[in-house]
Structure 1
Amino acid sequence: MSVQRNSINNNERKKERFSSTGFILAAIGSSVGLGNMWKFPYITGENGGAAFFLLFIVCLIIIGLPVLLAELAIGRSGRGSAATAFVRVGGRRGWKSLGILQVLAPFLILSFYIIVAGWTLHYAVSAFSGNLFSNPDFEGQFAQFISGYMPLVWQLVALLITGGVVILGISGGIEKFNKILIPSLVVLLIVLMIRAVTLPGAEAGVSFFLNPDFSQLTAESALVALGHAFFSLSLGMGILLTYGSYVRKEQSLGSATLAIGAGDLIYAFIAGLIIFPTTFSFGIAPDQGPSLVFIALPAAFSAMPLGSFFGGLFFILLAIAALTSSVSLLEVPVSYTMERFRWSRARSVWILVGLLFLIGVPSALSLGMVPELTFGGKAFFDWVDFITSNIMLPVGGLAITIFAGYFWKGAAEASGLRAGWFRVWLFMLRYVAPILVFLVLLHTTGVIKF
């Protein structure tokens, strides 16, 4: 019975493959998350507007794309979960522990990310129903919301949607989901961008975003740009290793890497053309993190014509971005449990969804209902975020660069690059990316300060 079950699970995995377009859309979906809507405007505003954006593009090219290609190549060659990919392509068994780190990281990230995804769903429903804009005290509304039990309800709703997509598999679930939502995301981005740039006083926001001020760039700006380029592409968290295992052999990984990078860049650019014109038009500082999205921007939408409609569209946009990312985060541990424990996809999904909800409860409660869940000045939510984003992900990315650059003998064939481009790629992986990722790690953990 055990042998038969193992055979069924192996066959099930072998049949799961992305189409070429579906893979690129799914990978773009993993990178277009909530961070580009509230983090990107904040760090861009602090570091010279367009000057920082240009620096971000450079960092995306020199660190993001080489590591992205390495993850995809290892994933496709290994044809397994993120935990076993290194070993399956010829690495020693010691590399498996770093692979397991890249399974644990997205699982923990999803435990708190899904909470904010639930907030976006709540705000989308509240905006279209008119409840959000019936009370002008948006700060009070947000405080009341996160202090009650409703965040747990919406957290569960977001988890069930995510699980419902992943349980349908790669082509029937994740690919179809992204084929519908990513084009919808593009339409919403364009509609909201047009509304933003035509607001009274929007010119100042557009000018700030598109006119570079290189005098504001510092050494810290470079590290911040490196970190954002790294994290915005979902590097170091096992997603692209896992998605790579479902890529067909005839898919050009080089072309896919460029397409994914371009998608992430365009999303960040349009996000800037939504946030900056809106904030400048209504005199809002774009450096408020989550409060920008859930407090300041609702106030702006309430003051503009058809604000309820555009506010609703904005929160649907956020919900789509959150859910496409949460789906990719869940697939990583699902792939691992299917491989490690020989569970069916359905069993893996529902067990993990249950665990994620339970683990996420302390994070949700620490933000309002039970503020006592605070240690060393940080809420439980913030600690999980800090450990995963600032430590686990850079370590995972560093492992990718070192393995692909120094230990992987099959890198040339797996990358599919021509000889000249392969030498450039290998040079970046050996001598540039590891140093820069290590600097990002030192910066995010506070070892390097300016």
Structure 2
Amino acid sequence: MEKRERFGSRLGFLLVSAGCAIGIGNVWRFPFITGQYGGAAFVLLYLIFLVVMGWPVMTMEFAVGRAAKKSAGKCFQALAPGGGRSGWRFYTIFAIIGNYLLMMYYTTVAGWMLNYMFKMASGQLSGLAEDEAGQIFNSMLADPRQMVLWMLAVTVIGLLIVAQGVQNGVEKVTKPMMLILFFLMLVLAIRSITLPGAGEGLKFYLVPDFSQWKGTEIFNVIFAAMGQAFFTLSLGIAALTIFGSYIGKEKSLPGESAMVIVLDTFVAIMAGLIIFPGCSAYNVKMDQGPGLIFIALPKVFARMRGGRFWGTLFFLFMVFASLSTVIAVFENIIAMNMDAFGWKRKKSVLVNGILLILLSLPCALGYNLLSAVQPLGAGSTILDFEDFLVSNNILPIGSLIYVLFCTRKSGWGFDAFLKEANTGDGPKFSRRFRFYMTYILPLGILTILIGGYVQKFAG
């Protein structure tokens, strides 16, 4: 049996784990949802839910991985009473499906980022007329060759990196990539907030205005903030469990989880500081939904002095953010198959590479050759359906399973979880949190699950 791989440093663990959490949820989904739900007031709720819900669940994922020293392919069997005979072993199937489903559309959207970086760098997005940005984006979606080409590029890059192993591939590439990402964001944020006319965007983003929440709208905002907290941290699909299995017991896990959440939140907040002041400075609507990044922002850069340079830097950081998640989840998929089937890394990369490419094709073709397939009703796409399965189902259900496993006697149990989580130097969870984690936290996650369905279908 091969020796368990490990990270080369604590910084590597923190940056790779943050890279898994940091991605489309921060730099694409967070800004447009913030715009839709009222700006700073939404951000405040989001930060609260990160702490009261995201923090304990992330710690549980890390603790399960570190205690078992295995991926989701075997971790529940290793820790549950009865091992392989335990009903908890079925989470393995759930986690594997969740990781594949996430990558079935994530590689396509990451491909959009890579495509737009090259479009911006080559000048294709310079000097755009008012309606040209939307036309360019729609033309990309309608072109199956572009969509498949950039999806393939992202997939191959991710596979080549994870094929090199944890230290020589995942950690070696992700550490400098994340550090460059943080630097790029600082530079872009400074540029954006110093633009003439940026003040209104900053006010919208940083000064809460609760007066706009009327009637039942507050519940929609709460559900959206809770859901975003889970989506942005990639909780519930065991994407973080694998990195817990690669670390030692020198540091307590509540502290490590808090560090990852701080890095993740920094990127989300900085993304808003880049986007909203820029939109304000050039009179671009800030509540445009998913098109904010690919339609609204190219208009901003087209009007900005040196916009081609700044736009290229922006989409470069978008590429790094999305690619960091692709690498992290690919590593989880590769490791799960290695644990479950006893495969060598190269065999797992080869088999899963072919599988991931085939599974990603429906999403890439969903805007063109397969546009007639509308799973959630008229106007919906395959991407919408896959995102619904992951965001509204697998993430909250998977998170609930982790919470139940770590707090119920039929699972690992709260005492065993607390001992593992608190081992090492750093902040500890108090035993007084037991009631909250055992009863209140599961109810909160159920609220996300039910609220997501209400938002999706009741309107």
The whole-number CA distance in structure 2 between the counterparts of 1:412 and 1:140 is: 54
Kept in 2, the 8 Å contact 1:79–1:85? The answer is yes
* Aligned mate of 1:116, from 71, 94, 109: 109
RMSD over aligned CA atoms reads 1.9
Amino acid across the alignment from 1:19? S
Larger CA deviation: 411-420 vs 239-248: 411-420
Query: Normalising to structure 1: TM-score of the pair?
Result: 0.93
**Alpha-carbon deviation of 1:420?**
7.8
1:103 aligned residue: 96
Matched pairs, number: 440
Kept in 2, the 8 Å contact 1:443–1:449? The answer is no
**Alpha-carbon deviation of 1:63?**
0.4
The alignment partner of 1:116 has SS state of helix
Larger CA deviation: 304-313 vs 90-99: 90-99
**Alpha-carbon deviation of 1:355?**
1.0
**Alpha-carbon deviation of 1:419?**
11
The whole-number CA distance in structure 2 between the counterparts of 1:428 and 1:232 is: 22
**Alpha-carbon deviation of 1:15?**
3.4
The whole-number CA distance in structure 2 between the counterparts of 1:337 and 1:398 is: 23
Does residue 40 in structure 1 map to residue 40 in structure 2? no
1:152 aligned residue: 148
What whole-Å deviation, never above 9, does each CA across 1:31-61 have from its counterpart, x for those lacking one?
Answer: 1112222322233234342222221111111
Does residue 269 in structure 1 map to residue 259 in structure 2? no
Kept in 2, the 8 Å contact 1:79–1:245? The answer is yes
**Alpha-carbon deviation of 1:359?**
1.2
1:4 aligned residue: none
The whole-number CA distance in structure 1 between the counterparts of 2:73 and 2:343 is: 16
- Indicate how the Cα distance of structure 1 residues 423 and 166 shifts in structure 2: closer, same or farther if over 3 A, else same: same
The whole-number CA distance in structure 2 between the counterparts of 1:405 and 1:294 is: 43
- Indicate how the Cα distance of structure 1 residues 381 and 42 shifts in structure 2: closer, same or farther if over 3 A, else same: closer
The whole-number CA distance in structure 2 between the counterparts of 1:293 and 1:46 is: 14
The alignment partner of 2:71 has SS state of coil
1:415 aligned residue: 421
**Alpha-carbon deviation of 1:75?**
0.8
**Alpha-carbon deviation of 1:102?**
1.4
Kept in 2, the 8 Å contact 1:19–1:171? The answer is no
Query: Normalising to structure 2: TM-score of the pair?
Result: 0.91
1:57 aligned residue: 47
Does residue 446 in structure 1 map to residue 421 in structure 2? no
Amino acid across the alignment from 2:160? G
What whole-Å deviation, never above 9, does each CA across 1:336-381 have from its counterpart, x for those lacking one?
Answer: 1111222111121122121111111111111134312323333222
The whole-number CA distance in structure 2 between the counterparts of 1:87 and 1:146 is: 43
1:3 aligned residue: none
The alignment partner of 1:15 has SS state of coil
What whole-Å deviation, never above 9, does each CA across 1:215-259 have from its counterpart, x for those lacking one?
Answer: 335122222111111121111011111111111122321221110
Larger CA deviation: 158-167 vs 41-50: 41-50
**Alpha-carbon deviation of 1:396?**
0.2
Kept in 2, the 8 Å contact 1:62–1:428? The answer is no
Does residue 209 in structure 1 map to residue 213 in structure 2? no
Does residue 162 in structure 1 map to residue 158 in structure 2? yes
The whole-number CA distance in structure 2 between the counterparts of 1:321 and 1:59 is: 22
- Indicate how the Cα distance of structure 1 residues 116 and 420 shifts in structure 2: closer, same or farther if over 3 A, else same: closer
1:63-212 mapped onto 2 (5 Å cutoff): 63-92=53-82, 93-133=86-126, 136=129, 137-148=132-143, 149-212=145-208
Amino acid across the alignment from 2:441? A
**Alpha-carbon deviation of 1:300?**
1.0
Larger CA deviation: 117-126 vs 421-430: 421-430
The whole-number CA distance in structure 2 between the counterparts of 1:42 and 1:293 is: 8
Kept in 2, the 8 Å contact 1:282–1:300? The answer is yes
Larger CA deviation: 69-78 vs 242-251: 242-251
The whole-number CA distance in structure 2 between the counterparts of 1:300 and 1:142 is: 15
Does residue 434 in structure 1 map to residue 427 in structure 2? no
The whole-number CA distance in structure 2 between the counterparts of 1:421 and 1:145 is: 49
Kept in 2, the 8 Å contact 1:83–1:97? The answer is no
Larger CA deviation: 124-133 vs 63-72: 124-133
The whole-number CA distance in structure 1 between the counterparts of 2:125 and 2:369 is: 21
**Alpha-carbon deviation of 1:135?**
5.2
The whole-number CA distance in structure 1 between the counterparts of 2:427 and 2:250 is: 19
Structure 1: segments with no counterpart, 5+ residues: 1-6
The alignment partner of 1:286 has SS state of coil
Structure 2: segments with no counterpart, 5+ residues: none
- Indicate how the Cα distance of structure 1 residues 294 and 42 shifts in structure 2: closer, same or farther if over 3 A, else same: closer
Does residue 285 in structure 1 map to residue 278 in structure 2? no
1:390 aligned residue: 392
The alignment partner of 1:239 has SS state of coil
What whole-Å deviation, never above 9, does each CA across 1:45-98 have from its counterpart, x for those lacking one?
Answer: 343422222211111111010111111001110111213212211245211112
The whole-number CA distance in structure 1 between the counterparts of 2:434 and 2:118 is: 48
- Indicate how the Cα distance of structure 1 residues 235 and 266 shifts in structure 2: closer, same or farther if over 3 A, else same: same
Kept in 1, the 8 Å contact 2:253–2:421? The answer is yes
- Indicate how the Cα distance of structure 1 residues 360 and 220 shifts in structure 2: closer, same or farther if over 3 A, else same: same
**Alpha-carbon deviation of 1:16?**
3.3
- Indicate how the Cα distance of structure 1 residues 199 and 339 shifts in structure 2: closer, same or farther if over 3 A, else same: same
Amino acid across the alignment from 2:198? A
The whole-number CA distance in structure 1 between the counterparts of 2:39 and 2:428 is: 35
The whole-number CA distance in structure 1 between the counterparts of 2:161 and 2:433 is: 35
Kept in 2, the 8 Å contact 1:167–1:346? The answer is yes
The alignment partner of 2:408 has SS state of helix
Kept in 2, the 8 Å contact 1:362–1:373? The answer is no
2:224 aligned residue: 224
The whole-number CA distance in structure 2 between the counterparts of 1:251 and 1:168 is: 27
Kept in 1, the 8 Å contact 2:36–2:288? The answer is no
Amino acid across the alignment from 1:34? I
Kept in 1, the 8 Å contact 2:422–2:429? The answer is no
Larger CA deviation: 91-100 vs 250-259: 91-100
- Indicate how the Cα distance of structure 1 residues 419 and 34 shifts in structure 2: closer, same or farther if over 3 A, else same: closer
Larger CA deviation: 264-273 vs 311-320: 264-273
The whole-number CA distance in structure 2 between the counterparts of 1:110 and 1:305 is: 37
**Alpha-carbon deviation of 1:283?**
1.8
The whole-number CA distance in structure 1 between the counterparts of 2:188 and 2:301 is: 11
Give the fraction of aligned pairs with identical amino acids, expressed as a percent. Answer: 34
**Alpha-carbon deviation of 1:403?**
1.1
- Indicate how the Cα distance of structure 1 residues 142 and 263 shifts in structure 2: closer, same or farther if over 3 A, else same: same
Kept in 2, the 8 Å contact 1:16–1:169? The answer is no
